[in-house]
Amino acid sequence: MAAKKARKSRSTSATKTRAGFVSTATADTDIPDYVVVELRYEAPVAFTATRFAAPAAAEPQAASLNEVLSKFDIKTMRSQFHLPADTIRSRVEVAAKLPSEPQPARFAKRGMDADFIQSGFVQVVPKSGAEAKKIVTALKRQKAVWDAYVAPRPVPAMPAGSAAGSRNFEPSQGYLYDAPNGIGAAAVWGLAGAKGSGITICDIEGNWNRQHEDLPSGIPLLGGTVIDDLGWRNHGTAVLGEMISIPDARGCVGISHQAKGAVHSAVINGVFNTAGAISNAAAQLKKGDVILIELQATGPNGNYVAMQYWSDIFAAIKAAVDKGITVVEAAGNGNENFDLAVFNNTGLQKDSGAIVVGAGVPPTNHVDFDGFGAGLPSYASLGVPRSRIFFSNYGKIVNVQGWGWHVTTLGYGDAQGGASENTWYTLRFSGTSSASPIVTGAVACLQGRARAKNGAPMTPKKVRNILMTTGTPQQGGPGVPLTQHIGPLPNLVEAMKKV
């Protein structure tokens, strides 16, 4: 019978067996089973490539072993430890002087060194691995044999890192977990409504891959024309992933994964009209729902600022908030101080009612191996966790922060790529773009809990106040003092106590 053929691996990265978790990304190659025979120390028996041998006094033992093997088709016999023939022959002389069942420590001076002990292990390889168990049973009955067994077949000690199907990236989503490093989302999911149930989140930007495998089906486009561009599509997909990724055995899990997702493009009638997008989205939402503004634009200093700088957008945000819809807005990545005189009498120094989100340094507070362009070398420090990340805008109107780097979510394909965008994942989403969905997910969790516990959502102002007063405080760092205000990181465990 031929050796076992290779078995096809499964599509998952690991399988639970009786023995534990084993990789299924490997296959059993054409390596046959064989038998390991351990001769008794005191048995003066040697062996060659085809048979056992012994001096006259022990010939009956060798003959009995050879008779057993004659009933099987043996391919070869050899030392399990690859010892030379003279070492195998020399074991006979030592073994002949030993009493029955000698103790190695007691008789070490009689030549029972490592070579002698190892010389008693014989590798018996049958032509058919299927006969190995039968050979073991027969040899165990022999006087010269201490033990015999089928050699173990090793497998990798850890599950494989890749598979035909998508990997589970949830362990990399540190922002889900407990304060001070995360927002404590996973810790509150057991509360009724606290996964965002009953809440709709509408993301306003340019495009999304709504067919991604880790997003719920049927996410509606409420209005506008999507921008046919991979960069916009990756960005929107990553944003949705942080909030509403499906909880399953692959990909990520959203902070508020029971919330419903919706999207609205900022392009209306062929032009960018963020105010119109906010107004149109608000008209289709209800009290307790959330609008996320995932946009920034160039301000008077030539740097990116939050969208409420412009009065039409400020007015649209205020109207949505007055309707009972919580608006979450990215502060932008321009390294701007919104308290400067140049912003006097603009929306950057007035309260629109939105929750404005800055970007903080995550607990993984170093740039990865790719660096950050020419300005920041590979593995440079980003600063102190929860301090302002160097590019984040800041000021009195910035209310809370989220992780501004190393956010695991959907899209881009650096963590998992492939031919289809539907299976792309990233470990590197960043900026106030990655920070704002973290806060938005927290808002949806709070409002879902409020509906379940109290029968109605909270006002946007109360939600904002809870996040600001219960969050894990901002920290100062080199070059980024606390006066550069971006606010605390949400702490849902403490926030839920205020619902």
What DSSP string runs through 78-92? EETT---HHHHHHHH
Q: Where are the domains of the chain?
A: 30-150, 170-498
The answer, yes or no, to whether residue 86 has pLDDT greater than 50, is: yes
Q: Give the separation between CA 333 and CA 348, rounded to whole angstroms.
A: 14
Q: How crowded is residue 433: how many other Cβ atoms within 10 Å of its Cβ? A: 25
Nearest CA-CA partner of 492 in 458, 441, 454, 451? 441
pLDDT class of 392 with cuts at 50, 70, 90: very high
Q: What is the mean pLDDT of the chain?
A: 88
Phi/psi of residue 202, nearest 5 degrees: -110, 120
- What's the whole-number mean pLDDT along residues 364-380? 69
So what CATH class is 30-150? alpha beta
End-to-end CA distance of the chain: 71
CA dist., res. 82 & res. 88, Å (int):
10
pLDDT at 22: 38
* Token pair 């790529």 in the structure block, residue: 417
CB 166, CB 252: distance < 8 Å:
no
Query: What count of residues does the chain have?
Result: 499
pLDDT at 382: 84
Answer yes or no: are the C-beta atoms of 243 and 444 closer than 8 Å: yes
Q: Which tokens in the block code for residue 461? A: 């102002």
Task: Indicate the range of 94-103, 152-161, 362-371 predicted with least confidence.
Answer: 152-161
Average pLDDT over residues 289-313: 92
pLDDT (average), residues 162-185 = 87
User: What was the pLDDT predicted at 123?
Assistant: 93
Phi-psi bin for 264: left (phi > 0), alpha (psi -120 to 50), beta?
Answer: beta
DSSP category for residue 390: T
The span from the CA of 128 to the CA of 480, in Å, is 71
Coil, helix or strand at residue 291: strand
Alpha carbon separation from 478 to 333, 378, 484 (Å, rounded): 19, 19, 12
Q: Backbone dihedral region of 317: left (phi > 0), alpha (psi from -120 to 50 degrees) or beta?
A: alpha
Split at pLDDT 50, 70, 90, the class of 379 is confident
**CB-side neighbour CA atoms (13 Å) of 452:** 19
For residues 384 and 111, which has the higher predicted lDDT (pLDDT)?
384
Q: Do domains 30-150 and 170-498 have the same CATH topology?
A: no
Under DSSP, the state recorded for 129 is G
| Other beta carbons less than 10 A from residue 327's beta carbon | 29
Q: Write the DSSP string, 139-173.
A: HTTSTTEEEEEEPP----SS--S--SS--B-GGG-
Q: What is the mean pLDDT of residues 350-365?
A: 94
Q: Quick one: the chain helix, strand, coil %, rounded to 5?
A: 30, 20, 50
Lowest mean pLDDT: which of 161-165, 268-272, 447-451, 455-459? 161-165
Q: Which residue has the tokens 């409020």?
A: 450
Least confident segment among 22-31, 122-131, 463-472: 22-31
Q: Is 53 helix (H, G, I), strand (E, B) or coil?
A: strand
Task: Check residues 254 and 382 and name the one with the higher pLDDT.
Answer: 254
Give the pLDDT confidence of 216-268 residue by residue, as tens digits: 999 999 999 999 889 899 999 999 999 999 999 899 999 999 999 999 999 88
Return the pLDDT at 105.
Answer: 63
Cβ atoms < 10 Å from Cβ of 183: 31
Q: CA 290 to CA 311: how far, in whole Å?
A: 21
CA distances 62 to 32, 46, 52, 494, Å, are 26, 8, 5, 77
- For position 364, what pLDDT does the model report? 85
Architecture of domain 170-498: 3-Layer(aba) Sandwich (3.40)
Q: Which of 34, 33, 118 is nearest to 81 (CA)?
A: 118
Model pLDDT for residues 16-37, shown as the tens digit of each residue: 445 444 334 444 455 778 999 9
Q: Which residues contact 113 (CB under 8 A, 6 or more apart)?
A: none
Put the strands of the sheet holding 74-79 in their side by side order.
74-79, 121-126, 35-39, 145-150
Element of type H or E holding 269: none
- pLDDT over 90 percentage in the chain: 66
pLDDT tier, 370 (very low <50, low <70, confident <90, very high otherwise)? low
318 within 8 A of 352, measured Cβ to Cβ? yes
Q: What confidence score (pLDDT) does residue 106 get?
A: 63
